[in-house]
């Protein structure tokens, strides 16, 4: 089963970007961990990143049309992109919102997620492990709205 792992702005800079907040794993390392775990779980994982809101929206349309499950780290789009939220709302397969950090333990503007209400669920605060937990949830047989 194919799964898209979609990453929003600045996540391509993982490893060098505020490592005290986001850890020392590089973006390439994240891609490797997700694809390897996918293989173990029997999922064909494709990891993408973009700084462009329009591109993210088009990827969500693609996922809706192809009925593909999504692990989505919307990064800063989380907090303000209604366009991305409306694209995510068209999903026909599970969509799990993930965050490396715990946005609720950080600045006030990070406490709001405009996508949370249209996601199947959210996993935040476990570092890169948040993606692993999301992939395991998609591979498992737990209920997924």
82 catalytic? Reply is: no
Active site (annotated) includes residue 131: no
Task: Tell the residue number behind the tokens 């089963």, with chain if given.
Answer: 1
End-to-end CA distance of the chain: 18
Interaction residues for ligand DQA, span 89-108 (CB under 6 A): 99-101, 103
Residue closer to ligand DQA, measured from CB, 110 or 136: 110
CA neighbor of 100 nearest in space, from 132, 136, 137, 69:
132
Q: Are 48 and 7 in contact (CB under 8 A)?
A: yes
Q: Is 116 in the site for ligand DQA (CB under 6 A)?
A: no
Q: Please, which residue, 91 or 99, has the CB nearer to ligand DQA?
A: 99
Closest listed residue to residue 33, CA positions, set 100, 84, 95: 100
Query: At its nearest, how many Å lie between ligand DQA and the CB of residue 101?
Result: 3
- Is residue 10 a contact residue for ligand DQA (CB under 6 A)? yes
**Among residues 99, 104, 111, 131, which one is catalytic?**
99
Site map (CB under 6 A) of ligand DQA, residues 42-81, x = contact:
-------------------------------x-xx-x---
Cβ atoms within 10 Å, residue 99: 24
Whether the CB-CB separation of 95 and 56 falls below 8 Å is answered with no
Q: Which two tokens stand for residue 30?
A: 């994240």
State the catalytic residues.
22, 99
Contact positions toward ligand DQA, by CB under 6 A?
10, 73, 75-76, 78, 99-101, 103, 110
């Amino acid at each position: 089963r194919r799964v898209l792992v979609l990453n929003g702005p600045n996540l391509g800079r993982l490893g060098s970007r505020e490592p005290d907040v986001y850890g020392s794993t590089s973006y390439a390392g994240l891609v490797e961990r997700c694809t390897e775990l996918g293989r173990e779980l029997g999922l064909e994982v494709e990891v993408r990143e973009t700084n462009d809101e329009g591109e993210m929206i088009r990827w969500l349309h693609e996922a809706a049309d192809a009925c593909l499950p999504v692990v989505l780290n919307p990064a800063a789009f989380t907090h303000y992109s209604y366009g991305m939220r409306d694209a995510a709302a068209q999903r026909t397969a599970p969509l799990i919102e993930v965050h490396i950090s715990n946005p609720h333990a950080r600045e006030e503007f990070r406490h709001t997620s405009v996508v949370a209400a249209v996601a199947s669920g959210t996993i935040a605060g476990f570092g890169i492990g948040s993606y692993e937990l999301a992939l395991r949830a998609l591979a498992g047989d737990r209920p997924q709205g």
